[in-house]
Amino acid sequence: MGGIKTDLFGRTTLPGLYAAGEAACTGVHGANRLASNSLLEGLVFGARAAQSMLDDGLVLQTADSLQSTPTPLTSAEEVKLEEIIARLQASMWAYAGYCARSPRCGRFCSARGLRCGPGAARAR
C-alpha cells in the first residue's frame, strides 16, 4: 500500500496531483492485500485517475511545450546541493528500508518530527 492518500478517483488533497497503483493509499484493501488485488487495484484506479484528470480539466502538456533548458546553478547552489545529496544518502543508507517496527526507524522519524510505523500515513 502506498502512502499517498487518495479518494476513490485518484485525487489527492493537492490539486493536479493524482496517484494510483502502488503509490496510492486508497483504503480499499488492507495492509495484507494479495498481489493480485494490488494489480487489479492499479488497473481500476489508474483508469479512474486518468478519467478524473480529464473531468477536472487538467491541462495536458507535451514534452515539447516544457522548458527544455534548465537554469544553471551557481557555484554556491551546486555546493549546497552536493551537501544535501550527501546527507540524504547517508540517512538513507543508515535508516531506510522496511522498518515499520525497527527502533532505528523510530529514531530516524522522531528526529525529523515524523510518525513512523503501521498506520503512520493515515494518522497525519
Q: How many other β-carbons are positioned within 10 Å of the β-carbon of residue 18? A: 23
Q: How many other β-carbons are positioned within 10 Å of the β-carbon of residue 29? A: 13
pLDDT band at 53 (very low <50, low <70, confident <90, very high): very high
**Residues 105, 95 contacting (CB under 8 angstroms):** yes
Sign of CA dihedral 124, 23, 118, 102: negative
pLDDT of res. 83: 96
pLDDT of res. 94: 74
pLDDT of res. 122: 38
* Average pLDDT of the chain to the nearest whole number: 78
**What is the rounded average pLDDT of the residues 38-58?**
89
The least confident of 23-27, 32-36, 94-98 is 32-36
Between 47 and 68, the more confident residue is 47
pLDDT of res. 101: 60
pLDDT band at 82 (very low <50, low <70, confident <90, very high): very high
Between 75 and 110, the more confident residue is 75
